[in-house]
Amino acid sequence: MGSTAMDLSSVKVVVIGGGLVGAMEAIFMAKRGFQVDLYESREDIRTLEHVSGRSINLALSIRGREALRLVGLEDQIVGGGIPMHARLIHGVSGRKSAQPYGKEGQFISSVDRRLLNETLLTEAEKYPNIRLHFYHKMVQADFDNGVIFFTDKDGSKVKACPDLTIGCDGAYSTTRRQMMRCGRIDFSQEYIPHGYMELCIPPKEGKFAAETNYLHIWPRDEFMMIALPNQDCSFTCTLFMPFVNFDEIEAAGGQAPVDFFRKYFPDAIPLIGEKAIRTTFEEGRALPMVSVKCSPYNYKDKVVILGDAAHAMVPFYGQGMNCGFEDCIVFNQFLDKFNNDFAKALPAYSEHRNPDAKAICDLAMYNYVEMRSLVNSRWFLFRKRVDKFLSWLMPSRYIPLYSMVTFSRIRYHTVIQRWKKQDMIVNKGLFYLLCLPVIIAGALTLKRFKPDVFSWLKFSGKT
Ligand SMILES: Cc1cc2nc3c(=O)[nH]c(=O)nc-3n(C[C@H](O)[C@H](O)[C@H](O)COP(=O)(O)OP(=O)(O)OC[C@H]3O[C@@H](n4cnc5c(N)ncnc54)[C@H](O)[C@@H]3O)c2cc1C
Ligand SMILES: Cc1cnn(-c2ccc(OCc3ccccc3)c(C(=O)O)c2)c1-c1ccc(Cl)c(F)c1
């Protein structure tokens, strides 16, 4: 159903989910001129009180920034975030090693998740052709007849009859589940044995208690912890650890959490505080991490899913939101390409985006395995130094994997292809570098004990 500019306002689009991607997508659709209704199951987060020390932050990089630029929010969000120009690796001895992320001006931004979501919702509300409906949970859909059912705050049923439904309702998406009832949707999900728990490094005398413009990483093989800075001079730490370890610490209680930190993250204890470590473990629960893949992302010209609803990934690349925001860019490009003809744009978007989203899900899982299996601070640094040397040696031919993902918009599946090619070159180079001296030394030794050993090499000149 291609539409000309004049009658787009009669095209009704429903966005399911008012999280980061849903709010972003609503703005993209409103900018096209559609009539947009966004339905969010929870309350309007802008009405909730702020609880200090409970800030959750996210790493925003180029892919997410481009979507923010397209909706006119990049400067505001990046300006309100904290740039992280380098990684700061914390060794168990307390030794710290900094390594810049890349060239000058290449940084990732630590942004407050709630502030980002609130800003996107407020921006969406400015559009006269967007209506936000909170406390509306999508419970059922009859996509073939274009009817979506919600329950509102007091449990009564609400109905919507959109021309297009866009599911941005997260990893446990109801939209995806409803699609699977009517279309041939392949689906897989994988929970990893690790959980995560957030802790807070409060400000010290009103200032940051640790180095500010860094992504702090404590790599400890099976355990990993990161800390990202917040605007209020605190840091939000995320501890990644197998649930079995969380359960052991919880079962032991008392000083067990502090003893655990004393063994693995001793330098973090004075930053977080022993009491806060104890209460965080007593009051909090480790949360699960799931990887979700599915295909296709659409059902006919009726519904498409974006963000975690389509591809939830483990957070070991800091790309989930960035990828979801990039979904909004790419989907918009396909609506441009097919002049809002949903019957063409939806399948074409799904076919184009699926391999990329699957690639970043795989890369995030690869990082989880890599960073867990024997990546302690020494090995972490060694790997990064090798990357840095190779990108210095072959600047146009070698871009570190992390840089391709984080500081470029090279399609994710192309990143993997290029990484594999680079790896082959590096492995060949290392082979010659390490084996050539051995071959030469062997030949010289042979020559010394059997001078005529290479006589067959001499060209006799006889024809
Ligand atoms: C520990 C951790 C760290 C992370 N760090 C980063 C990072 O550094 N950088 C990064 O880019 N990403 C990061 N991510 C990933 C990022 O949080 C997600 O990719 C992103 O939030 C996905 O946004 P979304 O809008 O697709 O889904 P969600 O954020 O899950 O939002 C879905 C929304 O839909 C609503 N909803 C659900 N069901 C219904 C329904 N039936 N009807 C109506 N509404 C519904 C929900 O209430 C919610 O508001 C991290 C994730 C985790 C777990
Ligand atoms: C939130 C966010 C934003 N980016 N990254 C990130 C991810 C991976 C990285 O290296 C991969 C690697 C290092 C060493 C060996 C193999 C692979 C680097 C890096 O190079 O600094 C940075 C994270 C993050 C998220 C979770 C954990 Cl647990 C974590 F440590 C960092």
Q: What one-character DSSP code corresponds to residue 294?
A: E
Q: Please give all residues whose beta carbon lies within 6 A of any atom in ligand 1, as ranges.
A: 16-22, 39-42, 58-59, 137-138, 168-170, 174, 196, 238, 307-309, 315, 318-322, 324
Contact 58 CB / ligand 2 (< 6 Å): no
Nearest protein Cα to ligand 1, atom 31: 19
Looking from the CA of residue 61, the nearest atom of ligand 2 is 3
4-60 per-position pLDDT tens digit: 555 788 999 999 999 999 999 999 999 999 999 999 999 999 999 887 777 899 999
Distance CA 367, CA 313 (A): 11
Does 274 contact ligand 2 (Cβ within 6 A)? no
d(CA 32, CA 8): 8
Amino acid (1-letter code) at residue 325: F
Atom 48 (ligand 1): residue with closest C-alpha? 19
pLDDT tier, 438 (very low <50, low <70, confident <90, very high otherwise): confident
Show the DSSP H helices in 227-319 as ranges: 243-252, 256-264, 269-272, 274-283, 308-311
Residues 2, 150 contacting (CB under 8 angstroms): no
Report which residue type is found at 168. C
Could you identify the atom of ligand 1 that is nearest to the CA of residue 39? 43
Q: Provide the pLDDT for residue 183.
A: 84
pLDDT value of residue 106: 87
Pairing of strands 12-16, 35-39: parallel
Distance 374 CA to ligand 2 centre (A): 14
Ligand 1 atom with the smallest distance to the CA of 238 is: 1
Half-sphere exposure of 151 (CA within 13 A, CB side): 5
Distance 315 CA to ligand 2 centre (A): 9
Characterize the bridge pairing of strands 303-305 and 164-167: parallel
| Mean pLDDT within 427-440 | 80
- Please state the φ and ψ torsions of residue 68, each to the nearest 5 degrees: -65, -35
Note the pLDDT of residue 453: 76
Residue-averaged pLDDT of the chain: 93
Q: Is the pLDDT of residue 116 over 60?
A: yes
Q: How far is the CA of 316 from the centre of ligand 2 (A)?
A: 6
Is 367 close to ligand 2, i.e. is its CB under 6 Å away? yes
Q: For 411-415, what is the mean pLDDT?
A: 98
Distance 320 CA to ligand 2 centre (A): 13
pLDDT tens string 77-109: 999 999 999 999 999 999 999 999 877 788 999
Is the C-beta atom of 301 inside 6 A of ligand 2? no
Report the pLDDT value the prediction gives residue 461, as an integer from 0 to 100. Answer: 54
Q: 129 in helix, strand or coil?
A: coil
pLDDT reported for residue 6: 55
Distances (CA, A) of 48 to 23, 42, 113: 17, 11, 14
Question: How confident is the model over 312-347, as pLDDT tens digits?
Answer: 999 999 999 999 999 999 999 999 999 999 999 999
Q: Among 3.50.50.60, 3.30.930.10, 3.40.640.10, 3.20.20.220, what is the CATH number of 8-81+112-190+290-371?
A: 3.50.50.60
Residue nearest to atom 27 of ligand 1 (CA): 170
Q: How far, in Å, CA of 96 to CA of 83, rounded?
A: 19
Contact between 263 and 212 (Cβ < 8 Å)? no
At CA 38, angle to CA 161 and CA 343, rounded to 5?
Answer: 55
CA-wise closest residue to 368 among 410, 407, 319, 325: 319
- Give domain limits for the chain: 8-81+112-190+290-371, 191-288, 377-446
Query: Could you report the per-residue pLDDT of 138-149, keeping only the tens digit for each?
Result: 999 999 999 999
Q: Residues 20, 117: contact at Cβ < 8 Å?
A: yes
Which pLDDT tens digit goes with each residue over 237-290?
A: 999 999 999 999 999 999 999 999 999 999 999 999 999 999 999 999 999 999
Question: Which pLDDT belongs to residue 431?
Answer: 78
**How far is it, in rounded angstroms, from Cα 168 to Cα 344?**
20
- pLDDT value, residue 54: 75
Whether ligand 2 lies within 6 angstroms of the CB of 364 is answered as: no
Among 139, 290, 292, 308, say which to mutate for ligand 1: greatest number of ligand atoms within 8 Å of CB.
308
Does the pLDDT value for residue 68 go beyond 50? yes
Nearest ligand to the C-alpha of residue 227? 2
Per-residue pLDDT at 463: 42
**pLDDT tens readout for residues 118-136:** 999 999 999 999 999 999 9
Q: What interface predicted TM-score (ipTM) does this complex get?
A: 0.98
- What's the whole-number mean pLDDT along residues 386-401? 88
List the residue whose alpha carbon is closest to atom 6 of ligand 1: 318
Beta carbons of 161 and 146 less than 8 angstroms apart: yes
pLDDT at 292: 98
**Among 415, 403, 143, 157, residue whose Cα is nearest residue 299:** 143
